Amino acid sequence: MKIAMIGSGYVGLVSGACFADFGHDVVCVDKDAGKIERLLAGVMPIYEPGLDDLVARNVAGKRLRFTTDLGEGVRGADAIFIAVGTPSRRGDGHADLSYVYAAAKEIGEALDGYAVVVTKSTVPVGTGDEVERILKEANPTAEFGVVSNPEFLREGAAIDDFKRPDRIVIGSEDPRATAVMQQVYRPLYLNNAPILVTGRRTAELIKYAGNAFLATKITFINEIADLCEKVGADVKDVSRGIGLDNRIGSKFLHAGPGYGGSCFPKDTLALLKTSQDHEAPQRIVEAVVAVNDTRKRAMGRKVIAAMGGEVRDRTIAVLGLTFKPNTDDMRDSPAISVIQTLQDAGALIRAYDPEGMEQAKPLLAGVEFVGDAWAAIEGADALVIVTEWDAFRGLDLARVKASLKTPVLVDLRNIYDPAQVRAAGFTYASIGR
């Protein structure tokens, strides 16, 4: 089948490359000419393990193309995916749908035969209705269906998530459009990937509800971690103890500095705005958002406490800046709030991240960025691990101690064993232990 992917960012590029790998003819469209030029040269705009090889393989196989010409991409397409950004709108926190609606208008003007227009972007309930209205207004004689097909890709594992999904959600009340979507996903259906066909508004809400629930699990275990510290319990054992209950499950029960990234912060906020508009309060999600925002700065204060309550003019080495490992995404990363809290208290920050340095620089003024972990650690007054990259999991503790001015290690991801670190002569602080 011929597929057009409007938007060549994280979701669009990964989805387009994976569809091409299934044998579909895919063209990825983006208004950013520089991005398209880089993609044509084989340079990825994001870091995602395996993506460069996947794109190169399918470009070479002539199944994947890139263009800035939306009309060219849409012409003759069976399915047209809208995969543009929906950031939080400044001022009120609603999802900014301007890019989605602009894409819909251009698609409508370019339609030349029946096609299914698919909202892949994360959008509030009712967006598909407006997309349908815009398409009809732009091209009253066009034949098309409008479907919601939310993405469930984890940064750092997106290709595997796309090819081996827990589920595929198709929101459609149009049998013809549903049939096209089932054909698009036929390679996955043959691998027994569950396909859930729902109403369009239901599909739109599934994405938000899923992310809000995962954000709630993270926030819940973080608050339990705080209680563990007060009563002398170990949050890792608590997590394992409750996670072994099949009704709860072990995923997203890892205590840390709070959630960040491209999805959870904006999607929980957008869900709250939708609930307010429809007078259906989501009190649990409200609490999750508030607790998570507060927690990030509290982690900075935790570092200050570990250093005896005074950090002015002291150098702190920070390892890990991205919101999670195996990505270069800095959006709403806990590291931003942690570092800013330390800077507000007068600390000097020296930082390293394997992939997120360039993205971090515009967000973190006054930080000294260095080329590796040891350059960050050498001569610092304390070491703080904010993101659990594999490269930080097995540091030579003897060398760390010898490199630091004072042996203080604050582990905000619980990747080290407290007894071993303390036996190595460190003042050690972690989460909920």
pLDDT tens column, 290-318: 999 999 999 999 999 999 999 999 999 99
Q: Are strands 25-29 and 2-6 parallel, antiparallel or unpaired?
A: parallel
Q: Which residues contact 127 (CB under 8 A, 6 or more apart)?
A: 97, 100, 119, 148, 204
Cβ–Cβ < 8 Å for 42, 56: yes
Bin 185: left if φ > 0, else alpha if -120 < ψ < 50, else beta.
Answer: alpha
pLDDT at residue 191 above 80? no
Exactly one of 18, 28, 228, 263 is catalytic; which is it?
A: 263
pLDDT at residue 250 above 80? yes
pLDDT classification of 34: cutoffs 50, 70, 90: very high
Q: How many residues does the chain have?
A: 433
Q: Mind listing the domains of the chain with CATH numbers?
A: 2-198 (3.40.50.720), 208-289 (1.10.1040.10), 295-429 (3.40.50.720)
Classify residue 294 by burial, with Cβ atoms within 10 Å: 0-12, 13-18, 19+.
Answer: exposed
- Give, for 134, the enclosing helix (H) or strand (E): helix 127-138
pLDDT of residue 117: 98
Query: Helix-strand-coil percent breakdown of the chain, rounded to 5?
Result: 45, 15, 40
Cβ–Cβ < 8 Å for 128, 171: yes
Q: Where are the alpha helices (DSSP H) in 143-199?
A: 158-163, 175-184, 186-189
Question: Among positive and negative, which fits the CA dihedral 151, 157, 160, 161?
Answer: negative
263 is catalytic: yes
pLDDT of residue 15: 98
pLDDT tens column, 210-227: 999 999 999 999 999 999
pLDDT tens column, 70-101: 999 999 999 999 999 999 887 777 899 999 99
- Sheet containing strand 368-369, edge to edge, reads 368-369, 348-352, 315-319, 382-385, 408-411, 427-429
